Amino acid sequence: MRLILVGPPGAGKGTQAAHLVAKYEIPQLSTGDMLRAAVAAKTPVGLKAKEVMDAGGLVSDEIVVGIIRDRIAEEDAKNGFILDGFPRTLAQAEALDEMLEANSLKLNAVLELRVDQSKLVDRIIKRAADAQAAGQPVRKDDDPEVFKQRLEAYNRDTAVVVPYYEKTGLLSVIDGMQSIDEVTASIDSVLQGLDEKV
């Protein structure tokens, strides 16, 4: 099962990815985690990324695509993977298509968690309050101002991949405003439908 999770920050992608990882026994490939791992492992791509990150720049599509290419070639991704935070741009989506084709692989589905963005800030404030109440650290990106900037960046850059996948027929829209369990059930229902088509 090869999946992409799309949706704005705070839509619940991480929560749903954890369910899919357990259900299908496939890794969740988060670009942020992979970048940090590549930098730590001092791979050629990781060293290039470190240089850019140390200079305060944004890592280029070329570097991100290189990291994804290396990662999906690893043993634990042979039976599939969940991409979270990639592709973020049309160029990355096209590069992913080429990469998969070169390896005779195909995506099974692109799941968009569609949410009411005006309510996301409230959701983030609640998430931060819940974490504090439980004595857990509050995520840096759960600051409402930081979050609004991330939302703007998502709408400017990443939302464009949704129509791209809509055209391919791979896109399934999930109502991300449902409860966590309802979102999980909706995703399971979409993926079960795919299994039956195969």
User: From the candidates 127, 148, 167, 197, which is the catalytic residue?
Assistant: 127
Q: What is the spatial distance between Cα 20 and Cα 191, in angstroms, rounded to a whole number?
A: 10
**Three-state DSSP class for residue 146:** helix
Catalytic residue among 50, 69, 148, 150: 150
The verdict on whether 139 is a catalytic residue reads: yes
Q: Which of 78, 106, 126, 139 is catalytic?
A: 139
Active site residue 123: no
Active-site residue identified among 13, 48, 71, 123 = 13
Q: C-alpha dihedral over 67, 72, 77, 80, to 10 degrees?
A: 120
88 is catalytic: yes
Sheet holding 109-114, edge to edge: 28-30, 81-84, 2-6, 109-114, 171-175
Catalytic residue among 2, 48, 88, 123, which? 88
Helix/strand/coil percentages in the chain, nearest 5: 60, 10, 25
Helix (H, G, I), strand (E, B) or coil at 176: coil
Concerning whether 156 is annotated as a catalytic residue, the answer is: no
- Angle at the Cα of 102 from the Cα atoms of 4 and 24, rounded to 5 degrees: 35
Q: Is 64 left (phi over 0), alpha (psi -120 to 50) or beta?
A: alpha
The two beta strands, 109-114 and 171-175, are parallel
**Which residues are annotated as catalytic?**
13, 88, 127, 139, 150
